[in-house]
Structures are given as C-alpha cells and as structure tokens.
C-alpha cells in the first residue's frame, strides 16, 4: 500500500468510519484486520511516522467521546513519531565495559503514555503483578465489553502472562501499537487474531486522578 503526500488544509479532520478492512503489510507477513482512518478524505491504514504529514490541528470524529487529555495525546501521534513524544530511558548493561542500549517503546509504553500521560518511562517488565497492580491511581476490573469506558486500558493475558495492551476509545474501537512497530485502530476480533490470549482485564484511571500527567516510577510500593 502506497501513501501519497498532499498539502493539508487548515481543518485537518481525522474521521474513523468503523469499518474493518484487511491490511497486508507485505507478502511475507500475515494480514491484519484494521479500521482505516481518513485524513481530509484520504485513507490510511496505520499511523506511521515513515508516512508523516505535518500539520497544526486535528479533530477526531465526534462519535468517539475520548477524554480531552487522551484525545490531545492521540492527536499528536498524527504529526510526531511516538519516540519523540515518549522517551524510553537507556538501559545500562554491565559486562567487561559499560554499555547503554537505547530501547524501543512497546505497546505497554504506548498505553501508559496515552492513559497516564507518562512522557518518560523505563524499559521494564510490565507484569500485572509486579507493576500494574501496584499503581495507586488505577482500578482493575475483569474484562467485560459492556463495562468499558473511553480511556480504559485493556490488557490481554496468556496463562497469566501479559502479552498486549490497548486503549479503548469508544464505539467498539481500540488504538494499539503492535510491539515496537506501527499504530493501528482495531476492533477486539482483529486484536485477538494477532495476539493469542485466554484472559483480559481493564485498567481505569481513578476519577480524582483524571486530567493529571502521572509520573512513571519503577516501584509504587512507597507511593
């Protein structure tokens, strides 16, 4: 699929028509079931910095009542590489010499940025027991579609191991980053087709912590 650069008007409206389409990255990789988005009438399948278009403002379709702070962070994804929005600290590796490795952001870093506003994070094991259950500003619920709210993080588990994190933006639609790769809008069926799981849960920011840029910490036990 090729993308054409074009001069963007001042309106810059992103519309999401919530229709699933098959997108094949290349002939060697399995096709994905994604929701395309339209930027000023032109269709795109992924938010990809290699096809970046620079502009000043974006409006996401009104049928998605996304919390204001999360909506602003999503809007930035259309004109910024995610690695420019969220810095992942270098990891020090000890051997005969000291090396610093620049890690790539994962799906967990992605939802932490969107839901919590964490613009600086470490490359750690984002395990539900080790890290997420110790967050003092979230509530954790068993995954049920009817209980979802815009801005909820949904995490998929396989045999109690965290395999993927996504953000719910309403109308049965999720935004997610595939590992260290591209960013897509998808429905739950397309996500489960890509990531095998046998359980899931919801993370929801507590009401008194909404609209806050929450600070990343490796350990919240002493919060």
In eight-state DSSP terms, residue 9 is P
Greater model confidence, 6 or 135: 135
DSSP letter for each residue of 166-212: EEEEETTEEEEE-TTS-EEEE-HHHHHHHS--SEEEEEEE-GGGTT-
Task: Please state, rounded to an integer, the average pLDDT across all residues of the chain.
Answer: 83
Give the residues across from 33 on adjacent strands: 22
Give dist(CA 102, CA 132) in Å, integer: 23
List the chain domain ranges.
63-209
Q: What is the pLDDT of residue 62?
A: 56
Say yes or no to pLDDT of 58 above 60: no
Query: Which of 21-30, 52-61, 67-76 has the highest mean predicted lDDT (pLDDT)?
Result: 67-76
pLDDT digits (tens, 9 = 90+) for 82-103: 999 999 998 766 655 556 677 8
The three-class DSSP label of residue 134 is helix
Q: What is the pLDDT of residue 5?
A: 39
Helix axes 68-76 and 107-116, enclosed angle (nearest 10):
130
Residue 194: both structure tokens together: 């890509």
Per CATH, the homologous superfamily of domain 63-209 is: endopeptidase domain like (from Nostoc punctiforme) (3.90.1720.10)
pLDDT digits (tens, 9 = 90+) for 190-213: 999 999 999 999 999 998 888 778
Say yes or no to pLDDT of 119 above 90: yes
Say yes or no to pLDDT of 142 above 90: yes
Say yes or no to pLDDT of 57 above 70: no
- 1-15, 33-47, 160-174: segment of lowest average pLDDT: 1-15
Greater model confidence, 57 or 65: 65
């Amino acid at each position: 699929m090729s993308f054409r650069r074009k001069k963007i008007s001042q309106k810059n409206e992103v519309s999401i028509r919530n229709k699933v389409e098959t997108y094949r990255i290349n002939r060697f990789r399995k096709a994905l079931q994604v929701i395309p988005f339209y930027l000023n009438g032109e269709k795109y399948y992924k938010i990809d910095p290699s096809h970046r278009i620079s502009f000043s403002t974006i409006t996401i379709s009104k049928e998605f009542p996304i919390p204001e702070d999360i909506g602003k962070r999503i809007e930035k994804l259309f004109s910024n590489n995610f690695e420019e929005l969220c810095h992942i600290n270098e990891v020090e590796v000890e051997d005969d010499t000291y090396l610093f490795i620049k890690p790539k952001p994962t799906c967990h870093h992605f939802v932490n940025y969107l839901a919590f506003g964490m613009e600086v994070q470490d490359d750690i094991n984002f395990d539900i027991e080790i890290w997420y259950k110790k967050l003092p500003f979230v509530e954790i619920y068993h995954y049920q579609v009817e209980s979802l709210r815009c801005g909820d993080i949904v995490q998929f588990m396989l045999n109690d191991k965290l395999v993927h994190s996504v953000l719910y933006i309403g109308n049965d639609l999720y935004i997610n980053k595939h590992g260290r790769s591209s960013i897509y809008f998808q429905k739950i069926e397309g996500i489960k087709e890509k990531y095998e799981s046998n359980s899931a849960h919801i993370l929801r920011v507590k009401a008194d912590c909404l609209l806050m840029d929450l600070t990343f910490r490796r350990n919240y036990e002493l919060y």
